[in-house]
Structure 1
Amino acid sequence: MGRSFAIVKKYQNADLKLPQRSTKYAAGYDFEAAEEFVVPSIWRHNVLKVLWSIWRQNRVTDTEYQRAHQDFKPVLVPTGIKVYLEEDEYLMVANRSSNPLKRGLILPNGVGIIDADYVDNPSNEGELFIQMTNFGLRDLIIKKGERIGQGIFMKYLVTDQDDQDNKKVRQNGFGSTGV
């Protein structure tokens, strides 16, 4: 099949650029935001309220914890891009080194793993999203076309006992390898 990037149908007329390497020896292909996107700061009322209660040694209810947890929840920044891979490859999605230092943005999962069977799945056509959390004090606006992450093509191995014939077929998109 080959290794390549393509734009998903939703963004066909959005004037997106396919990921590319910025320098001759760069390992990563830079991903850009497909649209303007707000990454909210985690320092919201519910989080501060719970932290204040903990600091004051007051009781915190399950509801208050749940509300604070929602404020910590990462967001999925759309790229409008899908990737075609060989069957023994994955795309490792990593943060740009400048994001945490300059902008307070991290990938809460450390790295993302895009499997070869993610592309063209029925639920989202295999669109790649960059999962982000904003530890800055203010909400951060990512502009369309701004570089937000990088993808590195990687090979992987399987055990001799791996039973390929009994594997399920992916039906869903983001976070669906549990099938």
Structure 2
Amino acid sequence: MKRQFVKLNKNATIPERATEHSAGYDISASETVTIQPDEIKLVHTGLAVQMEQDDVMLLIDRSSNPQKRGIVLSNSLGVIDHDYFPNEFMGMFTNITDKPVTIEAGQRIMQAVFVKYGLVDNDNANGERTGGFGSTGEVENDRQNTNADHQSV
């Protein structure tokens, strides 16, 4: 398998790197949304991503967002796992100003960087993803409670 972005709707923009030596792919909003002061809102990208099994895609805020647009990526760093495909990945943004902020469809809002990751020798993860955004929370908590006395510190 290779890495590739997949458009899920006609408003999506296939991400590109701005320069030959850029690490990040510019991710754009696929919809126009307005975020009220202190509000947290998911912004659609209209994209899914296919990756190698030992890849993770990190969603990173654009450095100009806080000063120029008054928004920040709420969770600081988004983590999109290999098994998230074919779900749409989105950005969660907070308006840090005292006025509404509008993100226009097609506007670059964050960057995606691919990273290889490793596992510990005694890894025993065997759960399966059951959905999209925020779908692993309950499964992880159940597994952590079940395996709590088997974990090393």
| Number of equivalences | 138
Q: Distance in 2 between matches of 1:25 and 1:158?
A: 28
Structure 2 residue aligned with 1:147: 108
Shift, 1:155, TM fit: 0.8
User: Rg: which structure is higher?
Assistant: 1
Structure 2 residue aligned with 1:176: 135
Shift, 1:96, TM fit: 0.4
Give matches, 1:1-179, under 5 Å: 1-8=1-8, 11=9, 13-14=10-11, 16-42=12-38, 72=39, 74-120=40-86, 126-164=87-125, 167-178=126-137, 179=139
Using the size of structure 1 for normalisation, the TM-score is 0.74
After superposing on structure 2, the runs of 4+ consecutive aligned residues of structure 1 that deviate more than 4 Å are none
Shift, 1:2, TM fit: 1.1
Shift, 1:17, TM fit: 2.0
Q: Could you give the per-residue CA deviations for residues 81-115 of structure 1, whole angstroms, max 9, x where no partner exists?
A: 11111111100000000001112211121100000
Name the amino acid aligned to 1:6. Answer: V
SS of the counterpart of 1:79? strand
Overall identity of the aligned pairs, in %: 40
Q: Could you give the per-residue CA deviations for residues 117-174 of structure 1, whole angstroms, max 9, x where no partner exists?
A: 0012xxxxx101011000111111111100000100001111000125xx11101110
Q: Could you give the per-residue CA deviations for residues 44-84 of structure 1, whole angstroms, max 9, x where no partner exists?
A: xxxxxxxxxxxxxxxxxxxxxxxxxxxx4x21000001111
Using the size of structure 2 for normalisation, the TM-score is 0.86
Unaligned runs of 5+ in 2: 140-153
> Which has the larger strand fraction?
2
Name the amino acid aligned to 1:159. Answer: V
